[in-house]
Amino acid sequence: MNLRTLTHVEMLFEIYAVAGELPPEQRESYLQAHLPEPRDRQLLLDLLQSELHSSQAAGLLDQAWPAEPEALQPGTTLGSFRIEGELGCGGQGRVYLATQAAEVVERKFALKLPHRLSGESLTNLRHEARAVSKLEHPGIARFLYIDRTAAGQWFLVTEYVQGQRLDQALHGAPAARVLGVFVHLCDALAHAHAQGVAHLDLKPSNVLLAADDQPRILDFGLGLIQLPQSSSKSVRGYTLPYAAPEQVRGDPSLLSDIHALGTLLLQIITATPPEHLVAQRERLRDPTLSTPLRAQLGPDLYAILQRACAADAAARYPSVAQFGADLRAMQAREPVSARAWTWRYALACLLRRRPWASAAVIAGVLLMGVALLALTLQRASLQRAEAQARTEAERARSGMRLLVSAMESADPESAPQVTPAEQALVERLKRAAARSPDAQIRATVDLVVARIARSTGDQRAALALFDDVVVRAQQLGATELLGQALIAKAEAHTELAQYDEAAAALARARALPAQAVEQAALLRAEGRRLLKAAQLDTAELKLREALAATNADDRLRIGTINDLGTIALDRGHFAEAARLFDQQQPLVDAVYGADSVAAGVNAHNRASAYRGLEQTDKALAQIRDAQRIYAARLGPHSARHADALMVEAIVLFADDPDRAATCLQQAIAAYREVYGANSPKIAHSLYFLGNLYLEAGDADAALREFASGIAIVQPQLPATHPLLAVLNLGLGSALLGQDKASAALAPLQSALQGMQASNPEPGPAQSSVFNELSRAYRLLGRAADSEAASATAYEGVKQAFPPQSVELVPYQLERAASLALAGRASEADALLAGARALLDTQGERPAAQRLRPRLQRAEAYVRDRHTADPAPP
């Protein structure tokens, strides 16, 4: 007897799975190329000819099955539906895109025509479809009803879903994104299972991923089709690589879906081709074969997948909700139920989740140990006690250095909110430090506590501690500690816009011996102070010096590149900003992780740069990636998530104003929840909302939003603050929209003063003010002032945007109108011709369509310039 090895059986399964996906005419040649044994080829051919993915497949088909229907052509009607095209064809039937002729508003549906449907299977399908049609969940494509044509052709009507196959959409995606999608899938399946409905054929083609990363499960209806059997036990259709053992035996359950979902996650997270999936799952189950796979997945995900994909249904998760709970726990870096709980495992999770708090606990334990040791040493010999005390003090100092290192290696952008439990740990650490006999340890603890306060935004509390540490470090002669405290103190002053105090602290740090101060950190702190004070040229020089000095410190290098990119964005040098942030991205992923908040900030910044380059698709992809990370790590109502919504609104401002307005309203709600009703962030959002109203021609609504923003920030900010400047710009534009040119001059001039005070260099913001001033002067008949302002505006904006940018058009139109008013008609005509040619290159883009009426009005103004009262554009 020729006994087959496990390896040979796995190979047959893999070849069978691949051949089953091929067209029937290609299967035999594929088997001949991959199977030298005639018996093996014949075995698989017999199985494939049955077209049933089941170990009971051979011989089940009989003459009771009607012939497979021919493919329907576009334009064919099926009942009340019109076929628009074929979406796909599989073992169970064909799927068509269809519209319903009777609908006033055209709606799209997916029509599924089963290849074979007999009396028993139809009875079962109609019975169970009643349950399926009640499923209401955003992750499930709705099964609507079953119908048949006058000719007797049965078909299933389901919701039409736009999206990409799950395996294609997530190919090469970061693990954090994949886990987020599968959490949504678990939620959707849990809803179905709660109704007693299983899917039983989960596979990549039955899950589509929409643009917002929301998965939609398809084919709950077809998963219920039962095959006609003479026996009482029915066999349901399934796809072999994903099917659970009990499903192959003809005894499926809700737990079979957990097996399929786990297998699907294993396939995507390891990038395993379908033909190797069965073997990969066997490696997962076999401890003697799974060491490389465990290293690839990591211990948490390895344990989760082992449990989900267990061959024995009783060893799997008891519910898909618990499967999803473990995936959520892994996302949050909390212990997962699939692993045995130990103190060591729980501590490791805490260290990953809250590095600074965990380090504080460790340091507290070390310090309490030092305090206990000091009491014990009173009963020992003085000489031995002193030696041990010195040793333990050095250990404690080493612990504090580890604590500082953990603080610095934590995600710098996450700014965690301190929970009551974590605050209690900090207080314990401070009490333990107070009992320590080592003054330097006590000072180091206070430095760390101050950094914790600064990381959570409490700059004033941090400053008080930094001042105390500076005094004690001086008294101890601890120059390294003194240098760290002075730099941290300067950074806190900078965040509070106390630039002179920051400069004084940095000057003291610079006066210390060079070996006692980290020069790169000092240079970056000086550069950030200058950047915040809008001294961009000097800031850039300092930051580039810091970058040259940070080859061995990737964390400082990341922060410095971020600052340089911010300067490039402020100057409108978008190509340089994109280059810097693109250069930063692999470094961020390597140091903090691809799903860290720092990675979200990088994607956020890249989106801003791409938006300036008018690379809209790239900008949207990056900002939505940032939103995904922020929502997962900080929550959907966090300030960072709201900031990302703001950027999406700006990107979509011209092409999708409705979506932009929605993003702004969501951002305002989040800011109100985080900061309160009088936050400058809300005023910033109102500025963009007002501009949307201006674009829509509603000057009254725009005026209301700008005035509301000014009312929020005017009591809080200096008169020349950039935010107040842009709100004044908006207010002036709204007044011009109401034909109140005289009233518009005051807010526009205030806007210009504010922008020049914060950044003397010309850029897009100043150009927009000059453009509106030109318009106001022109409406007042001040030709020379209008011409001068429009010239400044146009020259400034040409430096910021590429020659074919649609952003140039409003400036070209105003420049042409001001030239016409000054009697330079030929120059005006040339500019208008250039604007028309530029808009022609934009095709039917919404931004171009909105600008064309303005172009026509400008052309009419130039033509009619010599009439008594020309109409302004």
- Please count the structural domains in the chain: 3
- Going by pLDDT thresholds of 50, 70 and 90, the confidence category of residue 427 is low
CA distance 734 to 630: 34
| 35: CB partners within 8 A, 6+ apart | 15, 41, 44
What are the CB-based long-range contacts (under 8 Å, 24+) for 5-9? 6/282
CA distance 723 to 701: 20
Note whether residue 416 is domain-resident. Answer: no
Note whether residue 402 is domain-resident. Answer: no
Start-end of H helices in 714-845? 722-737, 741-758, 764-779, 783-800, 809-821, 825-841
> In terms of pLDDT, which residue wins out, 412 or 492?
492
Is the Cβ–Cβ distance between 728 and 750 less than 8 Å? yes
Query: Quick one: average pLDDT of 806-827?
Result: 90
pTM above 0.85, yes or no: no
Please give the pLDDT value at position 387: 56
pLDDT value at 326 more than 90: yes
Is the Cβ–Cβ distance between 794 and 827 less than 8 Å? no
Domain C-terminal end among 345, 376, 403: 345
pLDDT value at 254 more than 80: yes
Domain C-terminal end among 345, 380, 408: 345
State the residue for tokens 């030239």. Answer: 819
Do 181 and 34 fall within a single domain? Answer: no
- Going by pLDDT thresholds of 50, 70 and 90, the confidence category of residue 5 is very low
Domain C-terminal end among 327, 345, 363: 345
pLDDT, tens digit (0-9, with 9 covering 90-100), for 640-674: 888 899 889 888 887 788 888 899 999 998 888 88
Query: Quick one: average pLDDT of 853-868?
Result: 80
Please give the pLDDT value at position 166: 94
Note whether residue 275 is domain-resident. Answer: yes
- In this predicted structure, which of 45-59, 423-437, 558-572, 753-767 has the lowest mean pLDDT? 45-59
Instruction: Look over the chain and give the mean of its residue pLDDT values, rounded to a whole number.
Output: 79
Is the Cβ–Cβ distance between 259 and 309 less than 8 Å? yes
Query: Quick one: average pLDDT of 479-491?
Result: 88
CATH of the domain at 335: 1.10.510.10
Please give the pLDDT value at position 869: 46
Provide the domain limits for residue 846: 792-873
- Going by pLDDT thresholds of 50, 70 and 90, the confidence category of residue 618 is very high
Please give the pLDDT value at position 786: 92
Note whether residue 819 is domain-resident. Answer: yes
Please give the pLDDT value at position 313: 92
pLDDT value at 393 more than 70: no
- Going by pLDDT thresholds of 50, 70 and 90, the confidence category of residue 11 is low
Do 45 and 172 fall within a single domain? Answer: no
- Going by pLDDT thresholds of 50, 70 and 90, the confidence category of residue 121 is low
Please give the pLDDT value at position 468: 86
Is the Cβ–Cβ distance between 600 and 629 less than 8 Å? yes
> In terms of pLDDT, which residue wins out, 625 or 653?
625
> In terms of pLDDT, which residue wins out, 1 or 131?
131
pLDDT, tens digit (0-9, with 9 covering 90-100), for 567-612: 998 887 889 999 999 988 888 887 777 888 888 999 999 999 998 8
Do 172 and 37 fall within a single domain? Answer: no
CA distance 455 to 449: 10
- Going by pLDDT thresholds of 50, 70 and 90, the confidence category of residue 638 is confident
pLDDT, tens digit (0-9, with 9 covering 90-100), for 269-313: 999 988 888 888 888 887 766 677 887 888 899 999 999 999 999
Note whether residue 223 is domain-resident. Answer: no
Please give the pLDDT value at position 126: 63
Note whether residue 304 is domain-resident. Answer: yes
Note whether residue 567 is domain-resident. Answer: no
Query: Quick one: average pLDDT of 148-173?
Result: 85
pLDDT value at 414 more than 70: no
Note whether residue 479 is domain-resident. Answer: no
CA distance 233 to 646: 57
- Going by pLDDT thresholds of 50, 70 and 90, the confidence category of residue 374 is low
Nearest to 110 by CA among 165, 164, 155: 155
Do 41 and 182 fall within a single domain? Answer: no
pLDDT value at 62 more than 50: no
